[in-house]
Amino acid sequence: MLWGKKKPKPRNEAELIEQSLKEIREIQAKRAKTIPRFYRRLWPEWLDRRFVFGLIAILVILLADAVRRENQEFVAVVTQSQGQVTCAKSADAAAQPVALKARCEDGNLLATGNASSATLEFPDGSAVILGPNTVFEIRLLEYNRGGQWRTRNFRLLAGSISAKVSHFFGAGSDMRVYTPASVAAVSGTQFNVSYDPSARQTTVSCAEGIVTYASWAGQPVAVTQGTEARNAYGEAPSAPVAAQVVPFSAAAMIPDKETPPLKRIELTITAFLDLPMSVLGIGRCSWGVGCAEIARRTAAEEALRLIHVNLESQAGGYPEFVDPCTLAELNIPPQYLKRITTPLYNGCIERYFKQGDSFVIYARARDRERTLYKLSSFGVEKATPEEAQSLGL
C-alpha cells in the first residue's frame, strides 16, 4: 500500500472492540508524551509553582486592600458630634439622628440644631466642622484611580462651616463649597464659610492659604490669610479686608495624613490594572468600559447642547447671571436637570458670562483630563489653554 500497511478488518464484534481499545490506548500514550512536553516549554522547570501561586495570592490581597482604600475616598466619616445632628440620604428623604463613625455619601443632607456641631473627616486628614443651625449638602465625592486627583463638592444652605484641607489632598485636587450666592474653591487651606439665607449673603474668611472666591457676577477674588470677603446674591464679591479669622479648632486633633508606602504600591497596581478592573466594575472609582473617556466627554458636550437649547428657548433673553450649581436662572425642567449636571465635572458649570446679546458658558467633562468646553451662541467647542489660564480655570 502507498500509505503503509493496511489494518486487518475485524472479523467479529470482539475483534472490533479490541481494535478500538488499542487505538484509544495509542492516542492516550501519544498525548501523555506530547502534553507534558508542551507545558514544559511554557513553564520552565526552575520556576516553582508554589512561588508563582504565592505571588498571585499576594497580588489578589493587595488589590482587595487597594479597592478598600479607594472606596474610603467616597465617604465622609462623622468623627465628632455634639447636640442635635441629623442626616438625610437625600433632600426628599427623612432625616435621622447621626451617630459617631457614621458614613456620609453623595447626596446626603446634614443639619445641626442650636448649640450643636459635627465634624466630618476624610482619609487624607481633611475635615469640615458644621456649626450650629447649619444645613450642609454633600454634592459630590470623586476620586481618580491611582490617586491622581480628588474632587469634593459641598453646598452650604444655611449656617456656617470651618474647613481644613489637608496638604496631602493632592496638587491636582479640587474642593469647592457652594452657597446659593457664591463658591469658594480651595486646596491646602483652612477657611470659614457662612451663609445667611434671610439676607442671601455669603461671607468667606481664610485662616491659612488662599481661597478663590467667586459669585455669579463680577470677577473672582483671592481671599488670603487673615482676610475676609462677602457678597449678596447677584452681587460681585467685595474686596478682601483684614479680619479676625478663627483658625480651624480641630487642626491639632485631625492631622494631615500622608499616603503610606503600602498604599502607594497598591495605587500603582490599580492604576496599571485600571482597564480590566473598570470593565469588571471592581471598586467605586471604576471608569466603566474602555471607551469611558470618550463617552464622558461626549456626555458633557451633549449636556451643554441641552443648556444651549434651553437658553435659546427663553422668551426673556439671556439671564444676567447663573448659579453654576443649581442652574436655577435657566429654568431647566426638573426631568432634564440631572441629565445635564451629572456629566459635568463637579456637577456644575465653571463660569457663565452674559456678553451683550450673547453669552459664554465654560464647563468641564468628568474625564481624567477634566476637559474644558466652551458653549456660546455658535455651539460647543473645546476651550483653549489661553482661555482657561485667563479665567483661572
pLDDT tens-digit profile, the chain (393 residues): 445 556 667 666 677 777 777 777 777 777 666 555 555 555 666 666 777 788 889 888 998 998 898 889 999 999 999 999 999 998 888 999 999 999 999 889 999 999 999 999 999 999 999 999 999 999 989 888 777 788 899 999 999 999 999 988 887 888 999 999 999 998 878 999 999 999 999 999 999 999 999 999 888 999 999 999 999 998 999 999 998 887 766 655 788 888 888 888 888 888 888 878 877 778 887 655 445 778 889 999 999 999 998 888 877 788 888 999 889 888 888 888 888 998 898 889 999 988 888 899 999 998 878 899 999 988 999 999 888 888 777
- pLDDT value at residue 3: 53
Cβ-defined contacts of 378-383 (< 8 Å, 24+): 379/305, 379/308, 380/301, 380/304, 380/305, 380/308
Q: What angle do CA 133, 121, 126 make, to 5 degrees?
A: 105
Q: What is the pLDDT of residue 241?
A: 93
Instruction: Give the single-character DSSP code of 176.
Output: E
Instruction: State the pLDDT at residue 252.
Output: 58
Q: Tell me what pLDDT residue 289 has.
A: 46
Q: Could you tell me the pTM of the whole model?
A: 0.80
Tell me how far apart the alpha carbons of residues 359 and 329 are, in angstroms, rounded to a whole number.
14
Residue 342 near residue 371 (C-beta atoms within 8 A) = no
Residue 159 has what pLDDT?
95
% helix, strand, coil for the chain, step of 5: 30, 30, 40
Give the pLDDT confidence score for residue 144 in this predicted structure.
80
